Structure 1
Amino acid sequence: MSDPFRLDPRLADEGVLIASLPLCDLLLRDDARTLWLILVPRVAHAVELHDLGPHQQQQLMAEMVGASRAVAQVAQPTKVNTGALGNIVRQLHIHVVARHEGDFAWPGPVWGIGEREPMTAERKADLIGQLKPLL
Protein backbone atom coordinates (compact mmCIF):
# COMPACT_ATOMS: atom_id res chain seq x y z
CA MET A 1 0.00 0.00 0.00
CA SER A 2 1.39 3.41 -0.94
CA ASP A 3 1.59 6.41 1.38
CA PRO A 4 -1.46 8.67 1.29
CA PHE A 5 -1.27 12.21 0.02
CA ARG A 6 -0.78 14.82 2.74
CA LEU A 7 -0.88 18.56 2.15
CA ASP A 8 2.29 20.24 3.37
CA PRO A 9 1.40 22.13 6.59
CA ARG A 10 3.00 25.32 5.29
CA LEU A 11 0.63 25.36 2.34
CA ALA A 12 -2.31 24.57 4.60
CA ASP A 13 -1.35 27.42 6.95
CA GLU A 14 -1.24 30.01 4.16
CA GLY A 15 -4.31 28.96 2.21
CA VAL A 16 -7.92 27.93 2.32
CA LEU A 17 -9.36 25.14 0.19
CA ILE A 18 -11.54 26.41 -2.64
CA ALA A 19 -12.16 23.10 -4.41
CA SER A 20 -10.88 19.59 -4.94
CA LEU A 21 -10.42 19.35 -8.69
CA PRO A 22 -9.90 16.00 -10.45
CA LEU A 23 -6.13 16.07 -9.74
CA CYS A 24 -5.41 19.04 -7.49
CA ASP A 25 -6.57 20.71 -4.35
CA LEU A 26 -7.04 24.37 -5.22
CA LEU A 27 -6.16 26.79 -2.45
CA LEU A 28 -6.73 30.52 -2.11
CA ARG A 29 -3.57 31.99 -0.60
CA ASP A 30 -4.51 34.12 2.36
CA ASP A 31 -2.83 37.32 1.19
CA ALA A 32 -4.88 40.47 0.69
CA ARG A 33 -2.23 42.03 -1.55
CA THR A 34 -3.31 40.10 -4.65
CA LEU A 35 -5.45 37.20 -5.86
CA TRP A 36 -3.15 34.18 -5.52
CA LEU A 37 -4.16 30.56 -6.07
CA ILE A 38 -2.14 27.42 -5.38
CA LEU A 39 -2.75 24.10 -7.16
CA VAL A 40 -1.46 21.05 -5.29
CA PRO A 41 -1.64 17.70 -7.10
CA ARG A 42 -2.91 15.02 -4.72
CA VAL A 43 0.00 12.71 -5.54
CA ALA A 44 2.05 11.45 -2.62
CA HIS A 45 5.75 12.36 -2.78
CA ALA A 46 5.41 14.46 -5.97
CA VAL A 47 8.13 17.13 -5.96
CA GLU A 48 8.73 17.87 -9.66
CA LEU A 49 6.44 17.97 -12.68
CA HIS A 50 8.18 14.90 -14.06
CA ASP A 51 7.08 12.96 -10.94
CA LEU A 52 3.59 12.92 -12.47
CA GLY A 53 2.52 10.45 -15.10
CA PRO A 54 1.63 11.67 -18.60
CA HIS A 55 -2.13 11.75 -17.92
CA GLN A 56 -1.57 13.57 -14.63
CA GLN A 57 0.63 16.12 -16.42
CA GLN A 58 -2.15 16.77 -18.94
CA GLN A 59 -4.73 17.08 -16.18
CA LEU A 60 -2.49 19.47 -14.25
CA MET A 61 -2.11 21.67 -17.33
CA ALA A 62 -5.90 21.75 -17.80
CA GLU A 63 -6.40 22.72 -14.16
CA MET A 64 -3.67 25.39 -14.38
CA VAL A 65 -5.35 26.92 -17.43
CA GLY A 66 -8.73 26.85 -15.69
CA ALA A 67 -7.32 28.51 -12.57
CA SER A 68 -5.55 31.13 -14.71
CA ARG A 69 -8.75 31.95 -16.57
CA ALA A 70 -10.66 32.28 -13.30
CA VAL A 71 -7.98 34.61 -11.87
CA ALA A 72 -8.05 36.70 -15.04
CA GLN A 73 -11.83 37.02 -14.97
CA VAL A 74 -12.08 37.87 -11.27
CA ALA A 75 -9.03 40.12 -10.84
CA GLN A 76 -8.71 41.67 -14.32
CA PRO A 77 -4.90 41.68 -13.91
CA THR A 78 -2.23 43.16 -16.14
CA LYS A 79 -0.65 39.68 -16.21
CA VAL A 80 -1.26 36.25 -14.67
CA ASN A 81 1.98 34.71 -13.36
CA THR A 82 2.22 30.93 -13.10
CA GLY A 83 5.13 29.20 -11.42
CA ALA A 84 6.36 26.08 -9.69
CA LEU A 85 9.44 26.77 -7.61
CA GLY A 86 9.42 24.47 -4.60
CA ASN A 87 12.68 25.72 -3.13
CA ILE A 88 11.19 26.06 0.36
CA VAL A 89 8.10 23.82 0.20
CA ARG A 90 9.22 20.78 -1.77
CA GLN A 91 5.74 19.34 -2.31
CA LEU A 92 4.76 19.94 -5.93
CA HIS A 93 2.52 22.99 -6.13
CA ILE A 94 1.78 25.60 -8.77
CA HIS A 95 1.21 29.28 -8.03
CA VAL A 96 -1.27 31.26 -10.13
CA VAL A 97 -0.95 34.94 -9.24
CA ALA A 98 -2.83 38.00 -10.48
CA ARG A 99 -0.34 40.79 -11.15
CA HIS A 100 -1.24 44.42 -11.59
CA GLU A 101 1.11 47.08 -12.83
CA GLY A 102 2.26 48.91 -9.70
CA ASP A 103 1.40 46.08 -7.25
CA PHE A 104 3.58 45.35 -4.22
CA ALA A 105 6.28 43.58 -6.25
CA TRP A 106 5.76 44.85 -9.79
CA PRO A 107 7.47 44.10 -12.13
CA GLY A 108 9.58 41.59 -10.19
CA PRO A 109 8.55 38.22 -8.74
CA VAL A 110 6.19 38.08 -5.76
CA TRP A 111 8.17 35.54 -3.76
CA GLY A 112 9.89 36.85 -0.66
CA ILE A 113 8.64 40.41 -1.02
CA GLY A 114 7.18 41.90 2.14
CA GLU A 115 4.92 40.15 4.60
CA ARG A 116 1.74 38.31 3.72
CA GLU A 117 -1.33 40.35 4.73
CA PRO A 118 -4.21 38.09 5.83
CA MET A 119 -7.59 38.70 4.21
CA THR A 120 -10.76 39.40 6.11
CA ALA A 121 -13.20 36.51 6.35
CA GLU A 122 -15.59 38.50 4.16
CA ARG A 123 -12.97 38.99 1.43
CA LYS A 124 -12.11 35.27 1.42
CA ALA A 125 -15.78 34.32 1.16
CA ASP A 126 -16.32 36.87 -1.62
CA LEU A 127 -13.36 35.62 -3.69
CA ILE A 128 -14.28 31.96 -3.20
CA GLY A 129 -17.85 32.77 -4.23
CA GLN A 130 -16.58 34.42 -7.42
CA LEU A 131 -14.02 31.74 -8.26
CA LYS A 132 -15.96 28.50 -7.64
CA PRO A 133 -18.44 28.89 -10.51
CA LEU A 134 -15.56 29.57 -12.91
CA LEU A 135 -13.65 26.36 -12.16
Structure 2
Amino acid sequence: MFALDPRLEQDTYALGDFPLCRLLLSKDANYPWFILVPRRADISEVFQLDDNEREQLWKETNFLSETLKHCFAADKMNVAALGNVVSQLHMHVIVRRRDDVAWPAPVWGNKPAIEYSSDQLSEVRQRLGAVLGDDFRFVEA
Protein backbone atom coordinates (compact mmCIF):
# COMPACT_ATOMS: atom_id res chain seq x y z
CA MET A 1 0.00 0.00 0.00
CA PHE A 2 1.31 3.45 -0.96
CA ALA A 3 2.33 5.77 1.88
CA LEU A 4 4.14 9.05 1.46
CA ASP A 5 7.55 9.26 3.13
CA PRO A 6 7.22 11.29 6.36
CA ARG A 7 9.90 13.77 5.23
CA LEU A 8 8.05 14.45 1.97
CA GLU A 9 4.81 14.78 3.89
CA GLN A 10 6.40 17.27 6.29
CA ASP A 11 8.17 19.37 3.64
CA THR A 12 5.39 19.62 1.02
CA TYR A 13 1.77 20.39 0.30
CA ALA A 14 -0.18 17.61 -1.41
CA LEU A 15 -1.86 19.10 -4.48
CA GLY A 16 -3.42 16.10 -6.18
CA ASP A 17 -3.00 13.01 -8.29
CA PHE A 18 -2.14 12.16 -11.85
CA PRO A 19 -2.90 8.58 -12.97
CA LEU A 20 0.41 7.36 -11.45
CA CYS A 21 1.89 10.11 -9.32
CA ARG A 22 0.93 12.26 -6.38
CA LEU A 23 1.82 15.89 -7.09
CA LEU A 24 3.41 17.79 -4.22
CA LEU A 25 4.55 21.39 -3.83
CA SER A 26 7.66 22.08 -1.78
CA LYS A 27 7.08 24.38 1.18
CA ASP A 28 9.59 26.82 -0.27
CA ALA A 29 8.04 29.81 -2.01
CA ASN A 30 11.46 30.90 -3.30
CA TYR A 31 10.83 28.67 -6.32
CA PRO A 32 7.87 26.90 -7.91
CA TRP A 33 9.24 23.50 -6.83
CA PHE A 34 7.06 20.48 -7.50
CA ILE A 35 7.58 16.81 -6.72
CA LEU A 36 6.00 13.80 -8.40
CA VAL A 37 5.79 10.59 -6.33
CA PRO A 38 4.59 7.38 -7.95
CA ARG A 39 1.79 5.97 -5.79
CA ARG A 40 3.43 2.57 -5.47
CA ALA A 41 4.65 0.89 -2.28
CA ASP A 42 8.33 0.29 -1.58
CA ILE A 43 9.73 1.86 -4.75
CA SER A 44 13.04 3.71 -4.58
CA GLU A 45 14.31 3.43 -8.17
CA VAL A 46 12.79 4.09 -11.59
CA PHE A 47 13.77 0.60 -12.76
CA GLN A 48 11.53 -0.93 -10.06
CA LEU A 49 8.45 0.32 -11.91
CA ASP A 50 7.06 -1.92 -14.62
CA ASP A 51 7.36 -0.80 -18.26
CA ASN A 52 3.94 0.85 -18.36
CA GLU A 53 4.52 2.67 -15.07
CA ARG A 54 7.94 3.89 -16.23
CA GLU A 55 6.40 5.24 -19.40
CA GLN A 56 3.62 6.89 -17.38
CA LEU A 57 6.16 8.47 -14.99
CA TRP A 58 7.96 10.08 -17.94
CA LYS A 59 4.67 11.20 -19.51
CA GLU A 60 3.60 12.87 -16.27
CA THR A 61 7.07 14.39 -15.72
CA ASN A 62 7.21 15.77 -19.26
CA PHE A 63 3.64 17.06 -19.16
CA LEU A 64 4.21 18.75 -15.80
CA SER A 65 7.54 20.24 -16.93
CA GLU A 66 6.06 21.71 -20.10
CA THR A 67 3.00 22.98 -18.25
CA LEU A 68 5.07 24.64 -15.50
CA LYS A 69 7.49 26.19 -18.00
CA HIS A 70 4.62 28.11 -19.56
CA CYS A 71 2.55 28.64 -16.41
CA PHE A 72 5.45 30.12 -14.42
CA ALA A 73 7.53 31.65 -17.26
CA ALA A 74 10.58 29.46 -16.62
CA ASP A 75 13.96 30.21 -18.11
CA LYS A 76 15.00 26.63 -17.32
CA MET A 77 13.31 23.55 -15.90
CA ASN A 78 15.32 21.43 -13.45
CA VAL A 79 14.15 17.81 -13.38
CA ALA A 80 15.82 15.19 -11.20
CA ALA A 81 15.21 11.96 -9.33
CA LEU A 82 17.75 11.97 -6.52
CA GLY A 83 16.79 10.38 -3.23
CA ASN A 84 19.90 10.39 -1.07
CA VAL A 85 17.92 11.72 1.92
CA VAL A 86 14.44 10.39 1.01
CA SER A 87 14.77 7.02 -0.67
CA GLN A 88 11.13 6.85 -1.85
CA LEU A 89 11.15 7.41 -5.62
CA HIS A 90 10.27 11.02 -6.35
CA MET A 91 10.90 13.36 -9.24
CA HIS A 92 11.77 17.01 -8.58
CA VAL A 93 10.40 19.42 -11.20
CA ILE A 94 11.67 22.90 -10.38
CA VAL A 95 10.94 26.12 -12.23
CA ARG A 96 14.08 28.23 -12.48
CA ARG A 97 14.19 31.85 -13.55
CA ARG A 98 17.15 34.13 -14.00
CA ASP A 99 15.67 36.41 -11.34
CA ASP A 100 15.19 33.72 -8.67
CA VAL A 101 17.13 34.08 -5.42
CA ALA A 102 19.65 31.33 -6.20
CA TRP A 103 20.18 31.62 -9.97
CA PRO A 104 22.25 29.99 -11.39
CA ALA A 105 23.21 27.90 -8.35
CA PRO A 106 21.28 24.80 -7.25
CA VAL A 107 18.21 25.36 -5.05
CA TRP A 108 19.13 22.82 -2.34
CA GLY A 109 20.42 24.56 0.76
CA ASN A 110 21.14 27.78 -1.08
CA LYS A 111 18.63 30.09 0.64
CA PRO A 112 16.39 29.55 3.66
CA ALA A 113 12.98 28.23 2.71
CA ILE A 114 10.12 30.71 2.75
CA GLU A 115 6.70 29.30 3.66
CA TYR A 116 3.83 29.93 1.24
CA SER A 117 1.08 32.22 2.46
CA SER A 118 -2.45 30.89 2.08
CA ASP A 119 -2.98 33.39 -0.76
CA GLN A 120 0.17 32.23 -2.57
CA LEU A 121 -0.85 28.59 -2.18
CA SER A 122 -4.31 29.36 -3.54
CA GLU A 123 -2.75 31.14 -6.50
CA VAL A 124 -0.58 28.11 -7.34
CA ARG A 125 -3.63 25.84 -7.16
CA GLN A 126 -5.62 28.23 -9.34
CA ARG A 127 -2.87 28.50 -11.97
CA LEU A 128 -2.50 24.74 -12.14
CA GLY A 129 -6.24 24.11 -12.14
CA ALA A 130 -6.56 26.12 -15.31
CA VAL A 131 -4.05 23.99 -17.24
CA LEU A 132 -3.62 20.48 -15.79
CA GLY A 133 -6.54 18.85 -17.54
CA ASP A 134 -8.88 15.95 -16.88
CA ASP A 135 -6.22 13.40 -15.86
CA PHE A 136 -5.41 15.40 -12.72
CA ARG A 137 -7.47 15.35 -9.51
CA PHE A 138 -6.85 17.91 -6.78
CA VAL A 139 -6.86 16.72 -3.17
CA GLU A 140 -8.56 18.78 -0.49
CA ALA A 141 -6.52 21.80 0.62
TM-score bracket, normalised by the shorter chain, equals over 0.9
Deviations 1:21-77 (A, max 9, x none): 100000111211011110000111110111111100000001001111221122101
Indicate the percent of aligned positions where both proteins have the same amino acid.
Answer: 38
Q: In the alignment, does 2:13 pair up with 1:16?
A: yes
The unaligned stretches of length 5 or more in structure 2 are 133-141
Higher relative contact order by CA 8 Å / sep ≥ 6: 1 or 2?
Answer: 2
2: distance between equivalents of 1:102 and 1:130? 20
The yes-or-no answer on 1:94 pairing with 2:91 is yes
Determine the structure 2 residue equivalent to 1:67: 64
Match of 1:119?
116
SS at match of 1:18: strand
Please say if residues 18 and 132 of structure 1, whose CA atoms lie closer than 8 Å, have aligned partners that are also in contact. Answer: no
CA RMSD of aligned residues (A): 1.1
SS at match of 1:69: helix
Answer whether contact 1:17 1:28 (CA < 8 A) is retained.
yes
Pick from 3, 7, 24 the counterpart of residue 6 of structure 1. Answer: 3
Instruction: Find the partner of 2:82 among 79, 82, 85.
Output: 85
Q: Which runs of 5+ in 1 are unaligned?
A: none
Equivalent residues, number: 132
SS of aligned partner of 1:106? coil
Residues 34 and 97, structure 1, Cα contact 8 Å, conserved in 2: yes
2:137 — aligned with what? none
2:102 corresponds to which residue? 105
